[in-house]
Amino acid sequence: MQISKEQIGQFNENQKESHQRQFEYVTGQLQDKGLDVESILEKISNFQVAIPSWALGTGGTRFGRFSMGGEPGNLEEKIKDIGILHQLTRSAGAVSLHIPWDIPENPDEIKKLADSYGIIFDAVNSNTFQDQPGQDSSYKFGSLCATDPQVRALAIDHNKSVINHGVALGSKSLTVWLADGSSFPGQLNFRKALQRTQESLQEIYAYMPSDWKMYIEYKPYEPNFYSTVIQDWGTSHLLAQACGDRAYCLVDLGHHLPNTNIEQIVSTLLWKGKLGGFHFNDSKYGDDDLTVGSIKPYQLFLIFNELVYGMANNEADNPPLAWMIDASHNVKDPLEDLIQSLEAIRLAYAQALIVNHERLEQARDINDVVLCQDIMQAAFRTDLRPLLQEARLRNGGAIEPISFYRQANIREQLIAKRGNNSIATGL
Ligand SMILES: [Mn+2]
């Protein structure tokens, strides 16, 4: 769905005056602190987040699924949905494909369509956690770690074919997340399983084109409930090191045990130049896949604070990170949910950009704990939403994307076009 610039412009006209007042107020606040508003706006504008091809439909849980209607029924429609997000927010300029859920039948055509919305292809994701129809061997007892060499070969071949699909679309990286593990004590020889996983990953790594990166994702539990082969960032780091310079760790916010200090993990990995990418979501208990920033916005800010510091002090030459939302939508319209997530990510980034690191370091040096906390919270509590609105306005997006989405009846239009029962492939 192409939304005309005039339509967005007209909509913005009604909100411009009130926006302008708020933007001037926050500009004054930031200038008082000696901050360069234009450079912050530029950084915010350049910050693009990939939308996963599996997050555009209703996710559901293992208990049920409640469709919104108008879901994208194929890859083309998914790209069009991301096009809507990008036109309204100017911050969703990439898509991350999940294979085999979204195999591009005609890569040139799909590329052209994505191009027309200014969308590029970010990391491609392999799937060896489900059996596909007609598959010779089963992933029931693992994939890259499997004891059966035939199963391992199948999983390795699948990853190679994902790389081939990615090459055709202009992707430059592969994300591997494994469900491999065990559900009962004694089921798996930990060392052998990890060793087999390492060897499998090395074979996949060797197959990648020389300008590709591999992101190794970790997760402590689920769907296996006793052990996971790549359970934490340390294991992911060991495997990345064993593969080579272009293999990195991928941090998914929901893939940690409760109360894990994720910002500290970010700091350590950036120090070593081994942080490849990020999967954003939010959670209360486990891998809940909730809207980014809906539960723990302060944690998100603290993570971005480490990211901004780490990239500004990048002695280990950590490459630019791959940013992706990895969430599921059970009770919200997926597109509205994604707009909220995009906003939360940019907001946390903007807040991190206004932390006065010089003052913070001085306060740390003299152990002024009170001042340290004040500096952090002063940044977090500054309302920078007008800055995000200004970035959107300047780039042709909507000042208030969700209001626009609702007023323009976009979901109703999608239902009229695709029907009430279309189902998006994915989670
Ligand atoms: Mn993930």
Gap from CA of 345 to ligand 1 centroid (Å) = 16
Q: Specify the pLDDT at position 169.
A: 97
CATH 3.20.20.150, domain 49-355+396-418, yes or no: yes
pLDDT of 427 higher than 70 = no
Alpha-carbon distance 295 to 93, whole Å? 25
Q: Each residue of 12-32: pLDDT tens digit?
A: 999 999 999 999 999 999 999
Largest CA distance in the chain: 66
Cα 39 to Cα 42: distance, rounded to the nearest angstrom: 5
Domain boundaries, the chain: 49-355+396-418
217 alpha carbon to ligand 1 midpoint, in Å? 7
pLDDT of residue 68: 85
Percent of the chain with pLDDT over 90: 94
Q: What is the pLDDT of residues 175-187, one digit of tens each?
A: 999 999 999 999 9
**Contact assessment for residue 83 and residue 141, using Cβ atoms and an 8 Å cutoff:** no
Between 58 and 331, residue with greater pLDDT: 331
pLDDT of residue 415: 96
- Is residue 154 scored above 70 in pLDDT? yes
CB neighbour list of residue 103: distance below 8 Å, 6 or more residues apart: 75, 165
Average pLDDT of the chain? 96
Of 134, 176, 182, give the one whose Cα is nearest residue 155.
176
Q: What is the mean pLDDT of residues 78-106?
A: 96
Distance 381 CA to ligand 1 centre (A): 29
Q: What mean pLDDT comes out for the span 103-109?
A: 95
Q: Is the pLDDT of residue 425 over 80?
A: no
Burial (CB count within 10 angstroms: exposed 0-12, middle 13-18, buried 19+), residue 344 = buried
pLDDT single digits (tens) 359-395: 999 999 999 999 999 999 999 999 999 999 999 999 9
Cis peptide preceding 223, ω within 30 of 0: yes
The amino acid present at 423, given as its one-letter code, is I
CB-based neighbours (< 5 A) of ligand 1, an ion = 252, 279, 326
Tokens describing residue 348: 């946390």
Tens-digit pLDDT profile for residues 257-314:
999 999 999 999 999 999 999 999 999 999 999 999 999 999 999 999 999 999 999 9
Residues 6+ apart with CB under 8 A from 22: 385, 386, 389
Q: Find the 192 Cα to ligand 1 centroid distance in Å.
A: 25
Q: According to the model, what pLDDT value does residue 60 have?
A: 78
Q: What is the pLDDT of residue 62?
A: 79
Q: Ligand 1: distance of its center to the CA of 188 in Å?
A: 24
- How would residue 426 be classed by pLDDT, with cut points 50, 70 and 90? low
